[in-house]
């Protein structure tokens, strides 16, 4: 794995929910602890939000609190270090938590949006910083409403049935430029992101469970995410020393 990383001229990392579980944010599809085992995904579709935004917030409240209070874990910090060393050129993430940026990573593409703000789902399309939206939510205003037109405010995350975030087009360009993609903590069950690795000749996968791309990957590591990224850093340090 380290050999591939050192030989690569352009490496892109693709991360999923598994990289943030050590930061206290649940993943979505684990059989026993995944978010979808507790919440019906219908409330997280664009149709579900339109029909009942209050239920979207009621069921999502715990997740939003986890995301807004989370700090980067060892794996986020290790990826930022790999970027600083010039071994990783960019990060494509399905996560909405902003933890890569908090860890110091640059050139991060958030293909499912983020929790930096919310946009009015009514006519005015006003954008509101998440701090103000969170204050409304924690005062019990479900859903939080736009102060201009009274429409419900929707976090700037991509719901099922919505178009991908603008970053997705940039992510496609990054992946097409890459000769190595490092997939970390991603189940690869969600389209269209799960098609991105097919554009890259070489693939390394670090995930606790099997993925649809395991047979094509040069290396598959089924372990804890932070354990694997720490191993990469330590091996690089050993070789440099």
Catalogue the active-site residues. 112
State the DSSP code for 164.
P
Beta bridge partners of 207: none
70-79 b/e (C-beta count within 10 Å ≥ 16 → b): bebbbbbbbb
- Sign (positive or negative) of CA dihedral 17, 19, 24, 29: positive
- DSSP letter string over 202-213? EEEEE-SS--TT
- Alpha helix segments (H runs only) across 21-179: 46-51, 53-69, 74-84, 99-102, 130-138, 167-177
State the DSSP code for 218.
S
Size of the chain, expressed as the number of residues it contains: 241
The CA distance from 63 to 26, in Å, is 8
The CA distance from 137 to 122, in Å, is 18
Task: Give the number of C-alpha atoms closer than 13 A to the C-alpha of residue 135, restricted to the C-beta side.
Answer: 5
Whether omega for the bond prior to residue 192 falls within 30 degrees of 0, making it cis, is yes
Return the residue matching tokens 């069921």: 59
């Amino acid at each position: 794995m380290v050999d591939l990383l050192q030989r690569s001229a352009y490496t892109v990392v693709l991360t999923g929910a598994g990289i943030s579980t050590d930061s206290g944010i649940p993943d979505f599809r684990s059989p026993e602890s995944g978010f979808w085992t507790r919440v019906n995904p219908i409330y997280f579709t664009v149709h579900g939000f339109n029909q009942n935004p209050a239920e979207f917030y009621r069921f999502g409240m715990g997740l939003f609190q986890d995301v807004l209070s989370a700090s980067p874990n060892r794996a986020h910090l290790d990826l930022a270090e790999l970027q600083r060393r010039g071994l990783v050129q960019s990060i494509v993430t399905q996560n909405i938590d902003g933890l890569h940026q908090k860890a110091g990573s640059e050139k991060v593409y958030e293909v499912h949006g983020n929790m930096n703000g919310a946009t009015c789902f009514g006519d005015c399309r006003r954008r509101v910083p998440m701090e103000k939206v969170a204050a409304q939510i924690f005062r019990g205003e479900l859903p939080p409403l736009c102060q201009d037109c009274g429409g419900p405010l929707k976090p700037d995350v991509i719901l099922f049935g919505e178009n991908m975030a603008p970053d997705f087009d940039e992510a496609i360009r990054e992946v097409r430029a890459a000769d190595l993609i490092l997939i970390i903590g991603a189940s690869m069950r969600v389209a269209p992101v799960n098609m991105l690795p097919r554009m890259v000749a070489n693939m390394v996968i670090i995930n606790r469970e099997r993925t649809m791309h395991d047979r094509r990957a040069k290396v598959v590591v089924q372990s804890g995410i932070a354990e694997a990224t720490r191993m990469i850093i330590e091996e690089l340090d050993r070789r440099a020393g």
